[in-house]
Amino acid sequence: MTTAAARQKLPRSIWALGFVSLFMDISSEMIHALLPVFLVTVLGASTVTVGIIEGIGEATASISKLFSGWLSDRLGARKTLTVIGYGLGTLSKPLFAVAPTASWVLFARFSDRIGKGIRGAPRDALVGDLAPAELRGAAYGLRQSLDTVGAFAGPLLAMALMALFANDFRLVFWLAAIPGLIAMAILVLGVREPAQHRDEPAPRFPLRGKEFGALGGLFWGVVAVGTVLTLARFSEAFLVLRAEDKGLPLALIPMVFIVMSVVYAASAYPFGALSDKTDKRVILASGFGVLIVSDLVLALATNLWSVMAGVALWGLHMGMTQGLLATLVAETAPVPSRGTAFGVFHLITGIALLAASLVAGVLWEWVGPSATFIGGAAIAAVGLAGLLALGQRREQ
């Protein structure tokens, strides 16, 4: 399928949601790329404080996704919650610019991550509601690609503005609100939510065993695959550490994220579109395989070029798997519980990412950098074996 053909068939609201993600990610990453240095050098915070602020922020986002996903099912108002989430994220940007203390930054970061949590699951469920079934993979791949473009365009823009305005952190934080406002305008004016037609009631809250069970065995299989994949890939911070270990100058550290994100953004949409025309398990298994190769390249790297090759492969596996997993959640969860399903998926994989990063840090500290990536490859290999075995059982 050509890009032009896909653009004609995908609803305009899908494209609008993709550009909403693009501009909001530019806005957020302009701040997040500079925030640790701002906290330490301008506000005099300790590195422990930086870690606490980041930890609270990410935990808040993961937990709130579960509630917002359920609420979008209950109210049948996914766009409303998405607008609230993006609006809260946009309103938090000026708080960073005027922050006099680290505790103020904590409040701003908490507000920003609450906004991310509120919008995450309803937005993903809304993509599933809007996309035709035969183009659902392309829809999630498109959103993932545009989101990832924002993830590396934001830090690049922040670096350029810091150079232009003589390292004026606060001015850059003010300017970061502009792409957020653009995202809000596109969301309000460009996205139309389809009417909800329910044959089954939405789940109750707090979720109990019955509600979890009603999500279905296929959905929980997707959660299991996503969890194993997350356990195998830990935080991208370890890619930075590996590159630094092999001689990357501190000033060029953003290149790690740029290389990874460029490959991720370039591959997510094509693989999403491909998943609509072929067996999704084949692409998912291939994604596991690419992650294994990436980990081995990073574990055995002898120079910076080999590290960057591993980073590029890491981005490729993300492009092959992340949009596809979202597609599978949308396809396997009951439609009246689609928002809840995305909330559950994000919460469990978020916990898995935290656990994986802790284990990766311990392996790095106690055994060595290569052990971290060999451990990731081993977990990915177990996940790949399980996925292939599951596929064989279904064919018998």
Domains of the chain, start order? 10-192 (1.20.1250.20), 209-396 (1.20.1250.20)
pLDDT at residue 297, rounded to an integer: 94
Residue 279 has pLDDT above 90, yes or no: no
CA angle 176, 180, 181 (to 5 degrees): 115
Q: What is the pLDDT of residues 144-179, one digit of tens each?
A: 899 889 888 988 898 889 889 888 889 999 999 999
What is the C-alpha end-to-end distance of the chain, expressed in Å?
A: 32
359 compared with 80, residue with greater pLDDT: 80
Query: What mean pLDDT comes out for the span 116-126?
Result: 88
pLDDT at residue 313, rounded to an integer: 96
pLDDT at residue 34, rounded to an integer: 78
The token duo for 149 is: 């473009």
Q: Which residues contact 109 (CB under 8 A, 6 or more apart)?
A: 35, 53, 54, 56, 57, 92
CB 115 within 8 A of CB 87: yes
Most confident range, picked from 349-353, 359-363, 376-380: 376-380
CB 376 within 8 A of CB 360: yes
Amino acid 270 reads: P
Q: Which of 135, 133, 142, 123 is nearest to 332 (CA)?
A: 133
pLDDT at residue 255, rounded to an integer: 80
Residue 6 has pLDDT above 50, yes or no: no
Average pLDDT, the chain: 83
Residue 208 has pLDDT above 80, yes or no: no
pLDDT at residue 197, rounded to an integer: 55
Percent of the chain with pLDDT over 70: 87
pLDDT at residue 121, rounded to an integer: 87
3-state helix, strand, coil split of the chain in percent (to 5) is 85, 0, 15
Q: How confident is the model at residue 5 (pLDDT cuts 50, 70, 90)?
A: very low
Residue 231 has pLDDT above 50, yes or no: yes
Q: How confident is the model at residue 59 (pLDDT cuts 50, 70, 90)?
A: low
